[in-house]
Amino acid sequence: MARLDDLTRPPGRPPRLLYGGDYNPEQWPEETWAEDARLMRAAGVTSVTLGVFSWSRIEPTPGAREFGWLDRVMDLMHAHGVGVVLATPTSSPPPWLGRLHPETLPRDEDGRTEWWGSRQHFSHSSEAYRRHAAAITEDLAARYAHHPALTMWHINNEYCTYDWGDGAARTFRSWLKDRHGTLDALNTAWGTDFWGQRYGDWDEVLPPRRAHYLKNPAHVLDFRRYTSDLLLECYRAERDIVRRHTPHLPVTTNFMPFWSGQDGWAWAAEEDVVSVDVYPDPRDPAAGAYNAMIGDLTRSEAGGRPWMVMEQAAGAVNWRTVNHPKPYGLNRLWALQSVARGADAVHYFQWRQSRQGAETFHSAMLGHAGERGRVFRETVRIGEDLAVLGPHVAGSRVTTEIALLHDWNSWWADPGDGALSTRVDHAELVRAWHRALWDAHLPASFAHPHHDLSGHRLVLVPHLHLLDDPAIENLLAYVRGGGTLVCGFLTGIADRDGRVRPGGMDARLRELLGIDLLQEWWPLDEGEHADCGTFRGTLWSEELTPAPGAETVAAYRGGELDGRPAILRTGRAWYVSTLLEPAALSGLLASVAREAGVVPVLDALPEGVEAVRRGDLLFLLHHGGEPVTVPLPGRHRDLLTGTVTEGAVKLDRFGVAVLEEAP
């Protein structure tokens, strides 16, 4: 199987990191291409992604093939030592496809058509779309399979579409038949006797379209599973075509970061290289922690192997309400932060800022200010840094002893508008727990609840509403085997169909966690706190009766829950029935980690400094605005500057040091 390692550690050559971005030369006159190639070389660019949105250029009329321009770009890149990650252009079909085959256009929940004129206007269920996508993929792969510039395939772009139309209704039914077998089984799984929703004929089963009031959550859960699976079918069809032509080259598709629409575990298993697009908000104080989390998740999806940042922004994006540029140094900091967490390829959207179209105001490696602009200067600097780091870093691993469990099925099973509190947000809870570890300098990975957990000393479940039986057995076996487990509230409430377990929580889990009776859930309003003595709970609280033998580590004080456990422990299994405020959550997880034998990368780091080990190297990353001094015993050499430090390392605003031990 092809891997990123094949590109970053080519036989007979020094290891290297890939650096570059989306290159859209068709938006520019050919005279500009030579300048692009020159500036790419000046910036140390080694890799570009071509052709992401080129379908209408390659096939301007049905069946036409205009490859001449792409041949010239491929040759130019090769002549300048730039490898090409070639995209199948299937995320933006040409207008003629929608005109000739209106069924290729998706429908939204209200039945409205999503027309051409933007992008991603394709229905995963349309046979015509799939046929035309396969044809262009076939011809693209045949034409460039042996081109020396070709290094990797990039299938489609950010698969993120939904379809509630009639074509989707047909494929949804067939997916449901595979899952449930009979209509009776579907009726049982969805609990359709509630509100008289029982189906008597398969043709009555539709995607969960606009309805008068709350939808059936089991119906929505299956629709989300189905959508992820159908998009994955589209990906696989194109992947298999390119693999047939180039079995030796890796294939990827770029994920949106922590995106709810695709089951990242299932998708990553079908990729040779896992890649992600990540756009933290430069004004968000939590952006550094967020970038770290996306790195940890992507590395985990890649099974711990090196992964790829397929897109990030050199400066501002153009899709927030207000889009801020990155102050000098921040782009470099986040790029190197991804490398610290296992990325071996750092790409951007995009190489040259567009002068026309919807993303004219989105930054690029080469902005409107051109080669004299400060954004380009930073592009050059990052290229220099990556060139220095490549031989020391490429292929090395990040090791962790803590796993956070995450599963898209559980995310999809959250009850949505029918929940006791719509303030409970799966993604926010995962972020809060990961952030607590980040604050404590405890490196973590992510895992699926079915994964073998025995390699982790500590397993955390921030929020898994749905846990199927194999997942529960896995957690029990993990603790029996000596592992330490901490579960957040609403863990294991529901089975695989989203049906609430008898007693409000799986009985085996209740026994493990020391809960005799889960009496009532008490969600908290915005601004409302639950006093727990030394800390405050937010968002949620619970009326629990502990089982004999369970230890109440912290109890609610005052109000209805006075004296009830907020945190329970039974041996190595912990249950946390509220969301602790950030410092308290971080403190709790750090102390449980210490007891489980896990210590932070470094103690006593100045505010805003992150420490990560990758292979034998120590990355120090400073997310703050003022210079700091990090105490660090011993002698170290900073690979980025060549300087040797003794006893302490100084970091400027957004400064980074990549340290190896020095004699």
**610 counts as binding ligand GLA under rule CB under 6 A:** no
The DSSP result for 620-648, as a single string, is: EEE-SSS-EEEEEEEEEEETTT--EEEEE
Q: Is 311 noted as a catalytic residue in this protein? A: yes
**277 counts as binding ligand GLA under rule CB under 6 A:** yes
Out of 59, 114, 238, 311, the active site residue is: 311
H or E element: which one contains 553?
A: strand 551-555
- If DSSP codes are grouped into helix, strand and coil, which group holds residue 660? strand
**311 counts as binding ligand GLA under rule CB under 6 A:** yes
Least Cα distance to 656 among 274, 442, 388 occurs for 388
**157 counts as binding ligand GLA under rule CB under 6 A:** yes
Burial class (CB in 10 A: 0-12, 13-18, 19+), 519: middle
Please select the residue that binds ligand GLA; options are 332, 362, 465, 636, rule is CB under 6 A.
Answer: 362
Q: 609-614 and 617-622: which strand pairing?
A: antiparallel
Q: Is 473 noted as a catalytic residue in this protein? A: no
Residues 158-197, one symbol each (x = binds ligand GLA by CB under 6 A, - = not), give x---------------------------------------
438 is in an annotated binding site: no
Distance separating alpha carbons of residues 335 and 501, to the nearest angstrom: 44
Q: Which residue is nearest to ligand GLA (CB)?
A: 277
**124 counts as binding ligand GLA under rule CB under 6 A:** no
- If DSSP codes are grouped into helix, strand and coil, which group holds residue 167? helix
Q: Give the amino acid at 541.
A: S
Distance separating alpha carbons of residues 567 and 552, to the nearest angstrom: 6
24 is in an annotated binding site: no
Q: How many CB atoms lie within 10 A of CB 305?
A: 17
| E-assigned strand segments in 155-298 | 251-252, 254-255, 275-277
H or E element: which one contains 19?
A: strand 18-23
Contact 107, 168 (CB under 8 A): yes
Alpha-carbon 620 to chain mean position = 23
Contact 189, 218 (CB under 8 A): yes
**59 counts as binding ligand GLA under rule CB under 6 A:** no
Distance separating alpha carbons of residues 297 and 289, to the nearest angstrom: 12
Least Cα distance to 129 among 91, 161, 155 occurs for 91
Percentages helix, strand, coil for the chain, rounded to the nearest 5? Answer: 35, 20, 45
Distance separating alpha carbons of residues 654 and 509, to the nearest angstrom: 44
Distance separating alpha carbons of residues 374 and 48, to the nearest angstrom: 21
| Minimum gap (Å) between residue 159 Cβ and ligand GLA | 11
Contact 646, 635 (CB under 8 A): yes
Q: Which is nearer to ligand GLA, 121 or 613 (CB)?
A: 121
Out of 114, 158, 271, 610, the active site residue is: 158
Spell out the SS3 assignment of 184-225: HHHHHHHCCCHHHCCCCCHHHCCCCCCCCCCCCHHHHHHHHH
**349 counts as binding ligand GLA under rule CB under 6 A:** yes
Please select the residue that binds ligand GLA; options are 17, 317, 459, 590, rule is CB under 6 A.
Answer: 317
Distance separating alpha carbons of residues 105 and 97, to the nearest angstrom: 9
Contacts of 372 (CB under 8 A, 6+ apart): none
Distance separating alpha carbons of residues 167 and 230, to the nearest angstrom: 12
The size of the interface with ligand GLA (CB under 6 A), counted in residues, is 9
**497 counts as binding ligand GLA under rule CB under 6 A:** no
- Cβ-defined contacts of 472-475 (< 8 Å, 24+): 472/506, 472/508, 472/509, 474/449, 474/450, 475/449, 475/509, 475/512
| Minimum gap (Å) between residue 295 Cβ and ligand GLA | 16
Distance separating alpha carbons of residues 180 and 190, to the nearest angstrom: 10
187 is in an annotated binding site: no
Distance separating alpha carbons of residues 390 and 18, to the nearest angstrom: 8
Contacts of 231 (CB under 8 A, 6+ apart): 124, 159, 161, 261, 262
Contacts of 617 (CB under 8 A, 6+ apart): 392, 393, 396, 639, 658, 659, 660
**314 counts as binding ligand GLA under rule CB under 6 A:** no
- Cβ-defined contacts of 196-199 (< 8 Å, 24+): none
Catalytic (active-site) positions: 158, 311
Question: Which residues are documented as binding site for substrate?
Answer: 119, 157, 319
Binding site for ligand GLA (CB under 6 A): 157-158, 277, 279, 311, 317, 349, 359, 362
